[in-house]
Structure 1
Amino acid sequence: MVSRRHVLASAVAVGGAAALPSSVDKVRASSVQAYTDVDLSAVHGDPPPYPESTHHLFMHGVASGDPLPTSVILWTRVSPSPEAVPGSGLGDDVLLTWQIALDERFSRVVREGEVLATAADDHTVHVDPFGLTPETTYFYRFLAGSTASPTGRTRTTPDADSSPESLRLAVASCANLESGYFGAYSDIARRAWAGEIDVVLHLGDYLYEYASSVNPGKTGVSRPFEPPWEIVTAADYRVRHGQYRRDTELQAAHAAAPWVVTWDDHEIANDATVPGAQGHDLFEGDWAARRAAAMGAYLDWMPVRATNPAEGGRLYRSLRFGTLAELHMLDLRSYRSGPGLIRSTDPERTMMGQEQFTWLSQKLSTSAATWSLIGTSVMISPLELLDLDPAVRAPLAAITGADSGAELATGLNADQWDGYPADRERLLTQIAETRPDASTVFLTGDIHSEWAGKVSHRGRVIGAELVCSSVSAPNLDDALHLPTGSAVSRAAERHVLANNPHFEHVNLDAHGYLIVRLDAEGVEGRWLRVDDVERAGSPVRVGNSWAFAGGA
C-alpha cells in the first residue's frame, strides 16, 4: 500500500511554492546544555550488535515505565533457549529475581522479589514494586540464576503535594526500522543518564506493521523487517516487537529512564479504528481478532500499567508530578468511530469515546496542578491549506476522502482531530471552561515533522501544542528524494505558516525528538535533530525552540 504520509508530503510540497514568511522569523534558535558523553556499553553491559549473532538470556534488554511516587513498572524478557524466540510459544518457564538498588553496583538493594516468565506471556514480565521513596533515582536488574540482565536506571515521581522546580520530558514517536537508525534513542539515553531527562513520552507508532520495503527511507531499506510480510497474527506482532527490542539504541533509551507510552495506528494497522482500518482487508482475516492480538502483544512488550481495551481494559491514564503538572495519556484508537470525515459535525462520531471523555473531563476539572499535559497520538490543531495548486487537489482528496478541492479548506488529514471536529469542539469547550488560564499543553506525535503553536477556542487562547518529529519514519524530503532543507521544503513550510497563523513553528524534514521543559513560569520545547537517520551513529544536534507562558 502507499503510505498516507508519503502522499501528504508530496501534496504539501507542491502546494507550498509561494514565497511566504519563514518559520525562522518566528522561532528563535536555541541550545541545550551539553551532556557528559556516557559510555552506554559500560553502563548497560555489552549487548550484541544488530542483528544479534548469538543467543543470550536478556537479549531484549530492560525497561521501566508509568512511574508513581512509590512505584514504577519494571520490565524484561528472558530467552530461556535459542528456539524460544518471540512469538514461538516455546521455552521453559524461568523464575527471575528482580532487584532495586540506590547504586549501580547493587550494594544498597532496597527491594527485591521473584517473578515467573512463561511462554503464555511471550516470556515477558512486569513487576510493580511498591514502597519506594518519591522523587528518587533507582537502579534495577533481573537475575536468572547467576546471569544478570543489563542494569536499568529509573526514577519515581514527586509526592502529589510536593512542588518540584521543573519537569523535563523527552517526547518521541514514529520509529521505522526500515527507513533509518534510531540515533534519537541513543541521544535520549545519554541525556537521561546525564540527568537532563526525567521521563520519556512515546506517543505512538513505536513500530510499524508494514511488509518489508513498503515504507523505506530516502535511499532504501536500512534494516529489513522480521517477519518480512505485513504482521497480522499474535505471533507476527510478537516477532516484530522482539526485532525492535534487539536494537541497542532503543534498549539504551529504555534502560536510561522511565517511559510513559500510548499507541497510535501502526502498532495495529494503518488508520486503525474500532470497525476497521485502511490497512486491513478481508484477506487478512478477522479485524477484531487482529486488533486484539496487536494490543495484547504491545502490552506484553511495553513497560505499562494497563489492560487490553479489546478485552474490556484500558490504556488511558494520568500521572502526577507534584503540584507542577499532571499528565493525561490518551488512547485515540480503541474507541474511535470509522474513518474520519472532515466536514462531518455528527456528535455521535467520536475519537475518544464517552467513557474516556468523561474520565478526562473529571481529571481536568479537579486537577490542582499548574499544568495539564495531554499526550495525544494525533494533532489536535486544525491544519488548513488554502489556495492550493490544482495539482495538489487530487492527492489530498485521496487522503481525506473529500469530494473536491473545495472540501480541503476545512482541513487536511482526516485521521487527525480534523476528521472528528465535533469531538474536538467538545474537548476544547471543556478545557476552556475548566482550565481558563491557558495552562493546557498538548504533546503530540504522528505527523513525522516538527510543529508548535497556540490552541484557541472561539477566539481565545486556551493552551498550546508541541509536536515531535519522527525518530526515523519518512517525512517530506524522504518522500520527495530531496536533500534535507531543500527549497521545496522551506517553501512548503512558509505556505503552511501563512495559512495557519496559530502555528509558529514547522519543520517538515527533521528527524529526532523533542525535549519539553516546564516550570511554574512556562513551557519550552526544544527539538533535537539527527543529521542523517540512514547512517548509523549520525550526530544529533539541537534545533529550534519554542516557549509558551500560558496564563501562569
Structure 2
Amino acid sequence: MLGMIPLLFPVRVFSIFAHNTNSYFTHGVASGDPTIDAVIIWTRVNAATSGACNVEWQVANDAAFQNIVKKGSVTTSQDSDYTVKVDATGLDSNQVYYYRFIYNETSSDIGVCKTLPVSLSNPVQIAVISCNNYEDGYFTSFRHIADNPEIDYVFHLGDYIYEYGTGQYCNQEFLDESNRLNDPMHELISLEDYRKRYALYRKDKELQKAHRTKAFICIWDDHELANNAYFGGAKNHQSNEGSWSDRSAAAVQAYFEWMPVRAKSTSEMIRSIKIGKDANFFFLEERLDGRDKQLLSNDPAKFSSQRKMISKKQFDHLSERLKTSDARWNFLVNQVMFTGYKSKKEEKAKEEDWWTGYPYQRDQLIEVFENLKNPPIILTGDHHQSHVLELNSTDASDSKKLIAWEFLTPSITSKNDDRLTTEQIAKKSKLLYKLNPHMLYNDIAAHGYFILNVNKKEVKISYKFNEDILLRNGKEKQGADFKIDNSNNLKKNV
C-alpha cells in the first residue's frame, strides 16, 4: 500500500537545500532517464568495507518524506564500485519527486527529479550542455542550472569527463593557480583509472548540485573513452596502452556505474523520448555503434559509400522513426557537428571527426530530412563554441530550401577561443559570418549552455554564458535568443 510509510529506525537526515557532509555519500545523488512513469536514481556509498552493502532507497511526494510512494533496498559491492542505481517505477507523469538513500542509519542528500509529461500542454525547458573539463575551469554553470527553477531536465551531450593526464589538456595558468588536478594524474587506461576520474568529477560541488536538483538524460562522446574514438580504436589510443577492446570496455563499465542512465549496453544508449504528438527526441550514439576510423579532410576515400558514422541498424531505425513521426517537433540529440562550416579560405588537411567526414551517410540522412513535413532540429555538443546553422537542400535547383537547423551548445569549461584577445575573437567571428551565409550566430569564446524551451507551437533557444570560468563564483550572463514558430520561421533576439 502506497502512502505514508514510517521508518523503522532513526535516520540522520539532511536538508534538500544544503549539501550533505556525511562520510558515506560523498559523491552526492543523481537522477536520470525519466519517463512518464519512472526515473533512475543514483548514489555511491563510501563504505569502510570490502564486502557487500545494503542500501535503502525512498521516493516521496514531499521533501519531508511524509508521503513515501516507493521504497526498497539494493545491494552494492566493489563489483560496481559501490555505486547504487535504482529504476523507480510506477510513478505519475509530469510529477516532481524527492528521493534519498539510507546507509548505516544515515541519509544521503535529498534529490529532486521530475517525470516526463504525456503532452506539452505546458512547455518544457531543458538545459543542453556538454564538455566539462576539470582542468580548464570551474563548473559554475552547473550551479546556474541548478539554481534556475524553470529548467525541468538536463541533456548532457557528452565529454562528461576527459581521459587526459594532468596538464595534457588544460588551461595551464588556471591549473597552476587553482591546483585543480586530475585524479589519477596519468591518462585513463584501466577500469580503476576511469572510476577514479568519475569519482573526482562527482565530488565537485557545482556538478553535485545540478545532479541533485535536475534529472539528466545523457549520451557519451569520445572523451569518456579516448579522443576521437571510433569502433576499432581512437586517436588517443596507442599500441603500448593495451588493447582497445579492453580499454573501451573499462570506460563503458565505469560510465554505466557512475552515470544515471538506464542503459546497460552501447545499443541501449540509442534511445528516444516521445512526448505525445508534440515532440520526439532521438538520442544518437556516434562512437562505438559502428563508426569507421576518421580520415583526413582531403582524403578522397572519405567519400566511400562503405564508410559510416553510425551502424546501418541505427541509421535505418532513425530514418524510419523520422519518416513515421507524428510529432510536430523532431530533435536529433547529437554528439558532433552535422551541418559544418568553413573557418578560413584555405584549410589545412585535418582529421575530420564531424559528420562532414562521412559524406555518404550524411547525404543519406539529408535526403531523409528533405522529405519531412517540418525541418528537424539538431542539438549538438562537442564543438565547445556556440553556433546556429541552417542546413539547406543539396539540390541545386532548390538550394535555398531549409531542411534542418543545428544549434551547437558551448562547452561548460573545455577550451575554445577564449584565450584569444578581444580583437582576435571579433576578427575571427566576423570572418566566420563572411565565409558562411548559413551561419546565423556564433560566439567562439564564451562558455555555458543553452536552454531549449519547447511547446506545442514554438521552440525557443536561449544561450546562457558564464562570465568567467576561472572564478569560483562566476556569474551568468545572457546570450542570444532564438524562436522558431509554427510556420518554421526563425527569429533572433525575441
Q: TM-score, structure 2 length as denominator?
A: 0.90
Counterpart Cα distance in 1 of 2:82 and 2:109 = 17
Task: Render the CA deviation track for 1:30-71: whole Å, top value 9, x for unaligned.
Answer: xxxxxxxxxxx95343345xxxxxx71111111111111110
The alignment's C-alpha RMSD in Å is 1.6
1:150-549 matches, cutoff 5 A: 150-159=109-118, 162-191=119-148, 194=149, 196-217=150-171, 219-221=173-175, 222=178, 223-309=180-266, 313-334=267-288, 335-342=290-297, 343=300, 344-388=302-346, 393=347, 396-397=348-349, 399-400=350-351, 414-433=352-371, 435-438=372-375, 440-458=376-394, 459=399, 460-478=401-419, 480=420, 482=421, 486-549=422-485
Contact (CA 8 Å) 2:36, 2:92: kept in 1 or not?
yes
Paired position in structure 2 for 1:103: 62
* Structure 1 residue identity aligned to 2:233: G
Which is worse superposed, 197-206 or 460-469? 460-469
Task: Render the CA deviation track for 1:256-293: whole Å, top value 9, x for unaligned.
Answer: 11111001110010100112111010111111110111
| 1:220 counterpart SS class | helix
* Structure 1 residue identity aligned to 2:16: V
Counterpart Cα distance in 2 of 1:523 and 1:490 = 29
Counterpart Cα distance in 2 of 1:501 and 1:366 = 32
Offset of residue 213 of structure 1: 0.6
| 1:496 counterpart SS class | helix
Counterpart Cα distance in 2 of 1:383 and 1:149 = 47
Count how many residue pairs are aligned between Structure 1 and Structure 2.
463
Q: Which has the higher strand share?
A: 2
Q: Of 22, 25, 31, which aligns to 1:58?
A: 25
Offset of residue 468 of structure 1: 0.8
Contact (CA 8 Å) 1:47, 1:248: kept in 2 or not?
no
Offset of residue 218 of structure 1: 6.2
* Structure 2 residue identity aligned to 1:170: A
Contact (CA 8 Å) 1:296, 1:308: kept in 2 or not?
no
Task: Render the CA deviation track for 1:452-505: whole Å, top value 9, x for unaligned.
Answer: 122223222122111111101111123x4x3xxx11111111111111111100
Offset of residue 363 of structure 1: 1.7
Q: Of 53, 77, 84, which aligns to 1:125?
A: 84
* Structure 2 residue identity aligned to 1:244: Y
Which is worse superposed, 282-291 or 541-550? 541-550
* Structure 2 residue identity aligned to 1:129: A
Offset of residue 550 of structure 1: 6.1
Counterpart Cα distance in 1 of 2:486 and 2:402 = 9
* Structure 1 residue identity aligned to 2:373: P
Q: Which has the higher helix share?
A: 1
Q: TM-score, structure 1 length as denominator?
A: 0.81
Q: Of 45, 51, 55, which aligns to 2:18?
A: 45
Counterpart Cα distance in 2 of 1:332 and 1:376 = 8
Paired position in structure 1 for 2:5: none
Q: Which has the higher contact order (CA 8 A, sep 6+)?
A: 1
Counterpart Cα distance in 2 of 1:230 and 1:72 = 33
Gaps of 5+ in 2: 1-13, 489-494
Contact (CA 8 Å) 2:121, 2:456: kept in 1 or not?
no
What fraction of aligned residue pairs are identical, expressed as a percent? 34
Contact (CA 8 Å) 1:172, 1:445: kept in 2 or not?
yes
Offset of residue 146 of structure 1: 1.4
Counterpart Cα distance in 1 of 2:27 and 2:440 = 40
| 2:194 counterpart SS class | helix
Offset of residue 149 of structure 1: 0.6
Contact (CA 8 Å) 1:442, 1:465: kept in 2 or not?
yes
Contact (CA 8 Å) 1:179, 1:220: kept in 2 or not?
yes
Task: Render the CA deviation track for 1:394-424: whole Å, top value 9, x for unaligned.
Answer: xx42x33xxxxxxxxxxxxx10111111111
Counterpart Cα distance in 1 of 2:331 and 2:146 = 23
Which is worse superposed, 240-249 or 219-228? 219-228
| 1:219 counterpart SS class | helix
Gaps of 5+ in 1: 1-40, 49-54, 85-90, 401-413
Which is worse superposed, 346-355 or 451-460? 451-460
Contact (CA 8 Å) 2:328, 2:374: kept in 1 or not?
no
* Structure 2 residue identity aligned to 1:378: V
Counterpart Cα distance in 2 of 1:366 and 1:126 = 34
